[in-house]
Amino acid sequence: MPSATLDTLLVNTIRGLAMDAVQAANSGHPGMPMGAAPMAVALWTRHLRHNPSNPKWFDRDRFILSAGHGSMLLYSLLHLTGYDLSLDELRSFRQWGSRTPGHPENHLTPGVEMATGPLGQGFATGVGMAIAERFLSATFNRPGHVVVDHHTYAIVSDGDLMEGITNEAASLAGHLGLGKLIYLYDDNGISIDGSTKLAFTEDVLGRFDALGWHTDRVDGMDVDAVDQAIVRAKAETGRPSLIACRTVIGFGSPNKGGTEKTHGSPLGEEELRLTKEALGIPLEPRFFVADAAREAFGRAVSQGEAAENEWNERFAGYATAHPEGAAILRRAMAGDFAPEWNAFPEFADKIATRAASGKVLNAIAPVVPTLLGGSADLAGSVNTTLAAFGTFQQDSPTGRTFCFGVREHAMAAALNGMNLHGGVRAYGGTFLIFSDYCRPAVRLAALMGCPTPFVFTHDSIGLGEDGPTHQPVEHLAALRAIPNLHVMRPADGNETAVCWRMALASPSTPCALALTRQSLSSTTPPPGADHPALRGGYVLAEPRDGRVDVILVATGSEVALALAAREALAKEGIGARVVSMPCTSVFDGQDSAYRQAVLPQGVPTVSIEAASTFGWAKYAEAHVGLDRFGASAPAERLFEEFGFTVENVVAVARGLLPMANA
Amino acid sequence: MPSATLDTLLVNTIRGLAMDAVQAANSGHPGMPMGAAPMAVALWTRHLRHNPSNPKWFDRDRFILSAGHGSMLLYSLLHLTGYDLSLDELRSFRQWGSRTPGHPENHLTPGVEMATGPLGQGFATGVGMAIAERFLSATFNRPGHVVVDHHTYAIVSDGDLMEGITNEAASLAGHLGLGKLIYLYDDNGISIDGSTKLAFTEDVLGRFDALGWHTDRVDGMDVDAVDQAIVRAKAETGRPSLIACRTVIGFGSPNKGGTEKTHGSPLGEEELRLTKEALGIPLEPRFFVADAAREAFGRAVSQGEAAENEWNERFAGYATAHPEGAAILRRAMAGDFAPEWNAFPEFADKIATRAASGKVLNAIAPVVPTLLGGSADLAGSVNTTLAAFGTFQQDSPTGRTFCFGVREHAMAAALNGMNLHGGVRAYGGTFLIFSDYCRPAVRLAALMGCPTPFVFTHDSIGLGEDGPTHQPVEHLAALRAIPNLHVMRPADGNETAVCWRMALASPSTPCALALTRQSLSSTTPPPGADHPALRGGYVLAEPRDGRVDVILVATGSEVALALAAREALAKEGIGARVVSMPCTSVFDGQDSAYRQAVLPQGVPTVSIEAASTFGWAKYAEAHVGLDRFGASAPAERLFEEFGFTVENVVAVARGLLPMANA
């Protein structure tokens, strides 16, 4: 078969599968796969180095479908190139229990690198993957021994390019000169509401030129043209590449092609028939794959196995020549740390938990050489710098501290990309208030099971004078509401170390560490493997005589307040237990006997947290909290004005006791 | 005094006030005001049309300090030009109870147009203000009668320009050709971590060129140069303008000027002395204002009064020639609606609440000609289009439907800007899941007391096949945790109308309307002024025989499920009350007698909401909810699999009753 004819067959095979699956589900987005199929064929049959038999082969190229609504494009490619995704799965598109959900989910489907759909996330996460590749290749490759060397590809849409996170990530990628990042822009001129001219008339490639990218424009319906553009992009090693591929959404559909009508709805039986006729695809059977197409796509299996075998040999040679590097890289690729990783420092003196966090990271850093991190232009405030290991820049790619710029959202997504890539463990920091700016990426980490540690400092009105625009009030609650996210608010330096222990040991749950600006006394035990904070919440102090009249459950900076209130209550003959609750979700995961032992039903309980009381009714019937915005003033004054005083805690606790009602 | 000498005096007066205030507070950001003072003097003494005696004069130019950390620049300007902000307030900078908080807050300080500090918000909100001006001037001005004609200015920082929201807003502003938007970029080359070269090396002006802006570059330390650039920007009426002003942060400080050391800390007594020496400012008294400076700045008062008087005359002429337009505009400027505004449609048939919302808006639109709205490229899905009133575009600026593009964050901020500007009432829509993308702007609306209605549809797993990336789970809780935000989740079309009534009547509280994709039966009374939903939560149905064994409290689409469960429980002899709770925060604001009457203590209560149970323990002891991510499948299947069935609600309710424990 002439290669042009074969290409057309491959392209139309994808179109047919996409149309059929969306029609069968009576739900989905056929237009994008139909328009983007040629560029996908160019990339997947001529460039992408991957091994369908081992989707986790470390040195594979990464491919992200940032335009996740075109999921049938990806599922078709995965099925056709031999991943463990059967035609029956494609037939179950968007159905309960299938591995072909409406938008791709990495934790469900082999070969899917990340969950996409929320626009811009794929674009920015891919930047993180390319950063990880850059760091690892610079750190571990040796002359004659190249063991990390792959590209990060994505297909992105106009929706992706409109999102702010994309500009943040693109500016960062341009700054860092990520030459192995190659994005294909599905430039179909159509968004949900109609022509992109309704709202998106900027000079996209001009913008990316200004951001330091190599840009190119080709006919996206021409497989060879896209292929050649990818060749040019690979040749450009100093800048990331954006290739605008002019495509026709819903190509082939005689009445709907080129319009928004093919974006988010099935073509309908009649239009499906007409489209298949126009494209020369048999109407039946549905989900038809010609033998020639299956064979051509299927070559990916042997090619992929050969590529991985060749890499294995290369790695063996590397291991012989550089056994130390190989040992470290092997461990890093497996996601493990050196056994001594959890020798955490102990904190006896007063220290801000943000500062303790910085000390913990710097203590671990020499032992875990693939631990990386940075901040969104707040390095000095959030203590994320690994002082001894340099800054990651274009000309210093083995640096381990990252300057993400004032780009919280792209930072969070890039961190996810670094951790999804593997081989590195990446954290990043900003103020807790700005967790709002990166919230979609934090949520996606939780959904993807990507255990990124987010460092959120200045975690309350303890921030002081910067005022309510910078004082988180509702953020602890808002983050705790996200499934599969551990929000940790340690009470002192030791609990901070314990939280880092949990965060770094977490296989598939991201963590948000809420840390203070202000110094806190050391009130909890040294951070050994037996620290009770590992259970999320625990009894920190009991009443002297053992009789628990009231429980004070507190987090972070308010634990010390609870301890002081306990003393004051003791003077009134009231026995108060203090529970430190650095992580409600870890506590909730304990067995009920433990939870009952810590917070027995029927014992009056007061929660104390310098934040919204939202969510605390689950644990306590009275609250010392802050259900309004903060104010600008020195921190001590704010704690006093807002009732975070021993007197007020005592009064609230007293109010719960029977004698109060007498 | 020669004008150059006077300018230097004015500039140094601001610098002195900023240095002194930060030093007195021992906290704050002196560097920005010291570097940006010349551009501020150019703008405020030569261009800005405003009336310090009436900060709310409608046709004033708007000025936003997007780089809100430089608040002392703004406070100095407000004080010096005669706003009601005394020198004592400047002396109380960042102290409890002052009107000079760490970052500007519009609700505290006369002359502050919006709260800034979270970077990018000022930039994007200003775009909304310019949109409002464009709409109002196009709609109301008549030949020979120009009553709306002003500019929107801002000073923006490199941090603003790094934020994604800024690119979204800039792309939109360029698309719309907002010629009266003029931003001065304080290009000082320094961010918190040091040189902007660490992370921000893009060609900023090249980017803005590509986004359709007029760009310019001048020496920002030269008042005349900035003045001339503003003159050029005003002459460019078809494009927004970005003027990069090269400045020196902390100018004048011999040891810290030009470095990040002046960004976020006081200069220190010694450096303050050296700086004042270098600039020729007397060291004492602190907060020194020379008479010549006071006089020059103070001219703003008479100029402003004259400008407003002249405008009043113009308006009187307009009112004579065009009484109808004047009446509408007068009402709009006062934030009022025509008396008939609340003639809401009644919904007897099954309808999705998103569709009911669209009908309500289209029913009100003819009566409220300054009601505007749009969506982030989801018009057909979120039902925000005002069908009879055209689309707002560069060449159709009287259109009332907005195409914000896939730019949720800029949309939300622009809506805030439109509503803060006044004269219009603007709402905007996207999917509830994407409330995360615009969350910082939603929070800021709440903090600012800006009553923007946010329309968030597809509010649960009822979204169906699009799957967990698109199914909100934690978003209701996360939004409810924000102070001063009413989250409304109506149970049917009638409650939807009631929620709109509350949202549009709200003077200073933004509202988030959570609306269904799927159809809901009509279960509540017609939307009159006596609808019980106006109290946030109410008894929708009582047990037949009056004995309340259990209460089912539900919101939105789950109210119908609660009603069905009530029937099933009745068959078992269990009396169930159904409480519809469209807005917990409005309910919480009722007196305790009412709240007790609806949800009496001691009666077993079950909450039912297809979302995280986080926060519901305040109202109920058992929950039918979803504390995990959703899944991709048809909606009916999801409700069933996740336990939103009559059987499960009955079982959970039964589990609370005493006999269950027997």
Residue B607 touches partner A, C-beta closer than 8 Å: no
User: Is the distance from CB of A493 to CB of A533 less than 8 angstroms?
Assistant: no
SS3 B21: helix
> Is the minimum CB–CB distance between A210 and chain B shorter than 8 Å?
yes
Average pLDDT of span A563-581? 97
The 3-state DSSP class for residue A152 equals strand
Numbers of helices and strands, H then E, in chain A = 23, 20
Q: What strands, in cross-sheet order, belong to the sheet with B152-157?
A: B62-65, B152-157, B181-187, B241-246, B214-219
Q: What is the Cβ-side half-sphere exposure of residue B93, based on CA atoms within 13 angstroms?
A: 31
DSSP states of B49-108 as a string? ---TT-TT-TTSPEEEESSGGGHHHHHHHHHHTT-S--HHHHHTTT-TT-S--SS--TTT
Cα–Cα distance between B530 and B585 in angstroms, integer? 19
State the DSSP string of A354-391. Answer: HHHHHHHHHHHTTT-TTEEEEESS-HHHHT---TTS-B
CA dist., res. A90 & res. A84, Å (int):
12
Do the beta carbons of residue B161 and residue B169 sit within 8 Å? no
- In the CATH hierarchy, which fold is given to the domain comprising B3-303? Rossmann fold (3.40.50)
- Rg of chain A on CA atoms, in Å: 27
The answer for A 278-307 residues in CB contact with B (under 8 A) is none
Same CATH topology for A3-303 and A341-520: the answer is yes
Cβ-Cβ contacts under 8 Å for A506 (sequence gap 6 or more):
A451, A486
- Predicted confidence at residue B176, as pLDDT, reads 98
Class at the top of the CATH hierarchy for domain B341-520 = alpha beta
**b (16+ CB within 10 A) / e for B549-588:** bbbbbbbbbbbbbbbbbbeebeeeebbbbbbbbbbbbbbe
Q: What is the pTM of this model?
A: 0.98
Residues contacting B658, CB < 8 A, separation 6+ = none
| Cβ–Cβ < 8 Å for B48, B40 | no
Is residue B659 very low, low, confident or very high in pLDDT (cuts 50, 70, 90)? low
Residue A320 burial class via C-beta count within 10 angstroms: exposed 0-12, middle 13-18, buried 19 and up = exposed
Q: Domain B533-661 - what CATH class? A: alpha beta
Question: Catalytic positions of A, please?
Answer: 408
Taking a C-beta distance cutoff of 8 angstroms, is the pair B72, B324 a contact?
A: no
For chain A, the maximum distance between any two Cα atoms, rounded to a whole number of angstroms, is 94
Over 60: is that where the pLDDT of B660 sits? Answer: no
Q: Which pLDDT score is estimated for B113? A: 98
pLDDT of B662 strictly over 60: no
Helix, strand, coil % in chain B, rounded to nearest 5: 45, 15, 40
Q: What is the DSSP letter of B257?
A: T
Percent of chain B with pLDDT over 90: 97
Q: What is the pLDDT of residues A84-115, one digit of tens each?
A: 999 999 999 999 999 999 999 999 999 999 99
Q: A152-177 burial, b if ≥16 CB within 10 A, otherwise e?
A: bbbbbbbbbbbbbbbbbbbbbbbbbb
Question: Does A318 score more than 90 pLDDT?
Answer: yes
CA A243/CA B371 separation, integer angstroms: 41
How far apart CA B18 and CA B12 sit, in angstroms, is 10
Contact at CB, B637 and A96, closer than 8 angstroms = yes
CA dist B281 and B585 (Å) reads 52
Q: Nearest CB to A207: which of B101, B207, B378?
A: B207
Contact B199/A at CB under 8 A: yes
> Under a CB-based contact definition with an 8 Å cutoff, are residues A587 and A535 in contact?
yes
Q: Does residue A378 carry a pLDDT above 80?
A: yes
State the maximum Cα–Cα separation within chain B, in Å, rounded to a whole number: 94
Residue A625: pLDDT above 50? yes
> A433, A515 in Cβ contact below 8 A?
no
Mean pLDDT of A556-560: 98
Mean pLDDT over A570-578 rounds to 97
| Pick from A117, A210, A628: CB nearest B469 | A117
Q: Where are the alpha helices (DSSP H) in B258-290?
A: 269-279
The alpha-carbon gap from A127 to the nearest alpha carbon of chain B, in Å, equals: 14
Each residue's pLDDT tens digit, A230-240: 999 999 999 99
From A409, A447, A467, residue closest to B469, measured CB to CB: A447
Q: How far apart are CA B197 and CA B203, in angstroms?
A: 12
**pLDDT band at B115, cuts 50/70/90?**
very high
DSSP A486-547: EEE--SSHHHHHHHHHHHHH-SS--EEEEE-SSEE---S----TT-GGGGSSEEEE--TTS-
Strands A605-608 and A576-580: unpaired
Residue type, B203: D
CA–CA separation, B159 and B186 (whole Å): 10
Averaged pLDDT of chain B: 97
Q: Which residue of B has its CA nearest to A628?
A: B483
Interface touch A96/B638, C-beta < 8 Å = yes
* Confidence check: pLDDT of A662 > 90: no
Predicted pLDDT at B358: 98
Give the residue from B380, B406, B438, B382 showing the smallest Cα distance to B125.
Answer: B438
Q: Tell me, what's the pLDDT at B343?
A: 87
Residues of B labelled catalytic: 408
CB B327 within 8 A of CB B320: no
For residue B483, give the chain A residue with the closest CA. A628
Picking from B374, B377, B392, B404, the residue whose alpha carbon sits closest to that of residue B169 is B404
- pLDDT at position A241 is 98
- The reply to whether A209 touches chain B by the CB within 8 Å rule is yes
Query: For residue range A252-261, what is the model confidence (pLDDT) as tens digits?
Result: 999 999 999 9
Residue extents of the structural domains in chain B: 3-303, 341-520, 533-661
Sign for the CA dihedral angle at B609, B613, B617, B623 comes to positive
What is the number of other CB atoms lying within 10 angstroms of the CB of residue B495?
31
Mutate to test the interface with A, among B71, B89, B193 (most CBs of A within 10 A): B193
- pLDDT at position A659: 66
Q: How far apart are CA A175 and CA A240, in angstroms?
A: 10
> How high is the pLDDT of residue A4?
85
Q: For A82-95, give the DSSP string.
A: T-S--HHHHHTTT-
- Mean pLDDT across the stretch B474-500? 98
Say yes or no for a CB contact (<8 Å) between A210 and B192. Answer: no
Q: What is the pLDDT of residue A192?
A: 87
CB atoms closer than 10 angstroms to residue B213: 25
Touching check for A96 and chain B: CB below 8 Å?
Answer: yes
Q: Which secondary-structure segment (H or E) carries A62?
A: strand A62-65
Give the C-alpha separation, A278 to A368, whole Å.
58
What is the pLDDT, as a whole number, of residue B515? 98
* pLDDT tens figures, B298-328: 999 999 999 999 999 999 999 999 999 999 9
Task: Assess whether pLDDT exceeds 70 at residue B420.
Answer: yes
pLDDT in tens, A19-54: 999 999 999 999 999 999 999 999 999 999 999 999
Buried b (16+ CB within 10 A) or exposed e, A101-136: bbbbbbebbebbbbbbbbbbbbbbbbbbbbbbbbbb
pLDDT in tens, A451-491: 999 999 999 999 999 999 999 999 999 999 999 999 999 99
Taking phi over 0 as left and psi of -120 to 50 as alpha, with beta for the rest, A10 belongs to: alpha
With b for 16 or more beta-carbon neighbours within 10 A and e for fewer, the B237-258 pattern comes to eebbbbbbbbbbbbbbbeebbb
- pLDDT above 90 covers a percentage of chain A that reads 97
Nearest to B580 by CA among B596, B563, B602: B563
Closest partner residue to B407 (CB to CB) among A162, A212, A477 is A162
* pLDDT tens-digit readout, A389-413: 999 999 999 999 999 999 999 999 9
Interchain CB contact of B168 with A (< 8 Å):
yes
pLDDT (mean) for A584-589: 98
Which residues in chain B are closer than 8 Å to A409, comparing Cβ atoms?
A: 164
Give the DSSP H or E segment for A398: none
Nearest CA in chain B to A479: B478
Q: Which is more confident, A323 or B192?
A: A323
